[in-house]
């Protein structure tokens, strides 16, 4: 057993201990399990939201994108930054509505906003479909990191299995509390590893940051600017705006919002998190260094650029620390994802079938859903093929289709009722699905369209159609909604 | 204390390599500046937000 492997196992054991210990002294209820009884302060919310940013993507995808696509990778920190700016306006409103109406999941939020159980089911379904690829990516990423960092002593499948078991055990025992406690260790580790590598590697190989970029400019000059077509300026702008709107609608991030103890907690985090996100740039420095130092990695192998450079540069004990940090970057986001997914399914489906179920029954069902979600993701890890790649491409596009329904709801507008919201969401989802399967672009309809318009993210187009359909259907069905509300009084909902 | 309208600025907000600034290609420097400015605007808005008064002890 090499020293790298021992260190990785040590990190796995500490994560498991912290995850289980998190629930000591707490009486577990559904509220406590799902959203920490809405009691998390600024630090835990900071760590949990940052935890959704610093995932295995930072290790593999961040450096891999810089390696394969150059400056197009900058879209990641930029859309996250704009999401925080947007969150200052939007998220406190969501929190206040959730607090007043005792909402603990995303499907429940939409269900109560529009007084529509059908809309809750649609949102629960879309949320789960969007979540599974994320969980699979994290588990696969975990497998790759641990396998590479252990010099192949553990296979990727074995590493993914160990990770899935650890995360399932501590989520079933501690719920979101387990995520919060392991997030502390994870963020300390990721900060140290990414910043250290991002500075050390350019200085070690090139003598500094600017000499590193000059070396990249010499061998791959296109890497340092956005391309004229494809990953172009219009692609960049449409993608960062679209993803900024979608960021807080991902079920796992939405759950973190609901676990805050006050709107002020969320606002404080909105101020500090953009600066924290800048640290992703250090992962890009490693990817850019690898363009010169580890040339020739093709396609998905570009994601291995960081690990190849690390194993080439450092002793096994340090590679073990990098592997341990990589393990933690998978465990924390996966734990939040399966918690939010399970609560979403419980409130979106089980509570509709059994509205009078006890808190204990709901907690048990939530834990069963935790196991079912991780098992589904694990099957995709073992068997995943093109279906998963398609799901991954469209998961952000899918979740952003909830944006119009949420935005109109803030204004209690006659332009969006439950029928319009559902019709708009389903139309938008169909466009995203169609695009993911056929790689459809605007140029297929308008052959002479300039590339600046053709490069616009198709999710953006889907949202515009979503709004148009939603408004038309709402205006046509407002009288039906009024009659329904008069004949059977809706559940009492306290608005903004 | 409409200052929240400042939050539009990051959305309203370079695609070249040179000049290098602080050792970074110009596009990357611009992205960093964009993020720092966003954070600064958020800080100003937070400080001027009347709803946050009294929450400092949280």
Q: pLDDT, tens digit, for every residue of B2-54? A: 666 777 788 877 887 878 888 889 988 988 988 888 888 888 888 787 766 55
The pLDDT assigned to A202 comes to 92
Closest CA to A217 of B53, B52, B10, B28: B28
Closest CA to A57 of A79, A87, A83, A41: A79
Reduced to 3 states (helix: H, G, I; strand: E, B; else coil), residue A424 is: helix
CB contact under 8 A, A262 and B55: yes
CB contact under 8 A, A281 and B36: no
Separation CA A129–CA A151 (nearest Å) = 34
In A315-417, where does DSSP find H-type helix? 316-345, 351-353, 359-383, 386-399, 403-409
Strand partners, A40: A260
CB contact under 8 A, B27 and A226: yes
Residues of A in contact with B17 (CB under 8 A): 217, 221, 224-225
Reduced to 3 states (helix: H, G, I; strand: E, B; else coil), residue A40 is: strand
**How far is A85 from chain B, CA to nearest CA, in Å?**
6
Which of B17, B41, B58 lies nearest to residue A217, judging by beta carbons?
A: B17
Lowest pLDDT segment from A64-78, A190-204, A212-226, A473-487: A473-487
CB contact under 8 A, A217 and B25: yes
At residue A215 the predicted structure's pLDDT band, cuts being 50, 70 and 90, is very high
Reduced to 3 states (helix: H, G, I; strand: E, B; else coil), residue A153 is: coil
Distances (CA, A) of B40 to A81, B7, B9, B37: 12, 10, 11, 5
Closest CA to A160 of A175, A138, A187, A179: A138
All structural domains of chain A: 3-386 (1.20.1730.10)
Do the Cβ atoms of A2 and A153 come closer than 8 Å? yes
Closest CA to A62 of A214, A152, A190: A190
Of all residues in chain A, the percent with pLDDT exceeding 70 is: 86
Q: Is the pLDDT reported for residue A429 higher than 80?
A: yes
Interval A206-230 mean pLDDT:
86
Listed by number, the residues of chain B in 20-49 with a beta carbon closer than 8 Å to a beta carbon of chain A are 20, 23-25, 27-28, 31-32, 34-36, 38-39, 41-43, 45-46, 49
Containing H/E element for B17? none
Integer-rounded Cα Rg, in Å, for chain A is: 23
Q: Is the pLDDT reported for residue A423 higher than 90?
A: yes
Backbone angles phi, psi at A327, to 5 degrees: -60, -45
Interface check for A84 against chain B (CB to CB < 8 A): the answer is yes
- Taking all residues of chain A, what is their mean pLDDT, rounded to a whole number? 80
**How far is B7 from chain A, CA to nearest CA, in Å?**
6
Separation CA A289–CA A295 (nearest Å) = 10
Reduced to 3 states (helix: H, G, I; strand: E, B; else coil), residue B16 is: coil
HSE at residue B28, side-chain half, CA atoms within 13 A, is 25
CB contact under 8 A, A85 and B34: no
Contacts of A300 (CB under 8 A, 6+ apart): none
């Amino acid at each position: 057993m090499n020293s790298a492997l021992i260190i990785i196992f040590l990190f796995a054991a500490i994560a498991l201990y912290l995850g289980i210990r998190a629930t000591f002294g707490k009486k577990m209820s559904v509220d406590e399990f799902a959203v920490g009884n809405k009691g998390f302060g600024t630090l835990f919310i900071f760590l949990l939201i940052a935890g959704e940013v610093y995932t295995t993507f930072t290790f593999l995808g961040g450096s891999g994108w810089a390696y394969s696509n150059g400056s197009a990778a900058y879209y990641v920190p930029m859309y996250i930054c704009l999401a925080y700016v947007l969150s200052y306006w939007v998220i406190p409103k969501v929190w206040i509505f959730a607090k007043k109406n005792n909402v603990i999941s995303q499907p429940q939020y939409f269900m109560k906003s529009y007084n529509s159980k059908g809309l809750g089911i649609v949102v629960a379904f879309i949320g789960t479909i969007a979540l599974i690829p994320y969980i699979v990516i994290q588990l696969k990423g975990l497998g790759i990191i641990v396998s590479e960092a252990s010099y192949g002593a553990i296979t990727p499948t074995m590493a993914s299995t160990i990770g899935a078991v650890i995360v399932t055990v501590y989520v079933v025992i501690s719920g979101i509390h387990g995520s919060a406690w392991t997030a502390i260790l994870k963020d300390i580790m990721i900060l140290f590893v990414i910043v250290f590598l991002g500075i050390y590697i350019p200085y070690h190989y090139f003598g500094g940051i600017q000499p590193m970029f000059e070396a990249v400019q010499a061998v791959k000059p296109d890497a340092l600017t956005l391309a004229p077509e494809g990953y172009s300026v219009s692609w960049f702008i449409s993608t960062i705006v679209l993803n900024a709107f979608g960021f807080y609608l991902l079920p796992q991030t939405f759950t973190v919002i609901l676990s805050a103890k006050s709107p002020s907690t969320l606002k404080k985090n909105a101020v500090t998190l953009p600066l924290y996100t800048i640290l992703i740039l250090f992962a890009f420095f490693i990817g850019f260094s690898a363009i010169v130092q580890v040339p020739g990695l093709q396609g998905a192998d570009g994601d291995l650029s960081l690990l190849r450079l690390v194993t080439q540069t450092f002793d096994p004990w340090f590679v073990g620390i990098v592997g341990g940090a990589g393990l933690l970057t998978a465990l924390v986001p996966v734990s939040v994802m399966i918690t939010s997914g399970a609560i979403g399914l419980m409130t979106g489906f089980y509570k509709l079938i059994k509205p009078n179920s006890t808190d204990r029954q709901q907690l048990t069902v939530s834990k069963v859903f935790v196991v079912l979600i991780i098992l589904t993701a694990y099957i995709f890890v073992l068997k995943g093929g093109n279906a998963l790649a398609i799901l991954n491409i469209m998961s952000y596009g899918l979740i952003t289709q909830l944006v119009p329904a949420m935005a109109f709801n803030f204004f209690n507008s006659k332009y969006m009722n439950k029928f319009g919201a559902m019709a708009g969401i389903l139309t938008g989802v169909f466009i995203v699905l169609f695009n993911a399967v056929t790689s459809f672009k605007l140029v297929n309809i308008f052959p002479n369209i300039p590339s600046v318009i053709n490069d616009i993210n198709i999710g953006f187009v889907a949202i515009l159609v979503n709004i148009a359909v939603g408004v038309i259907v709402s205006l046509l069905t407002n009288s039906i909604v009024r009659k329904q509300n008069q004949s059977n009084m809706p559940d009492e909902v306290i608005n903004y | 204390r409409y200052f929240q309208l400042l939050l539009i600025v990051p959305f309203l907000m370079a695609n070249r390599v040179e000049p290098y600034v602080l050792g970074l290609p110009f596009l990357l420097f611009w992205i960093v500046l964009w993020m720092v400015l966003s954070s600064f605007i958020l800080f100003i808005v937070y400080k001027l937000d009347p709803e946050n008064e009294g929450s400092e002890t949280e």
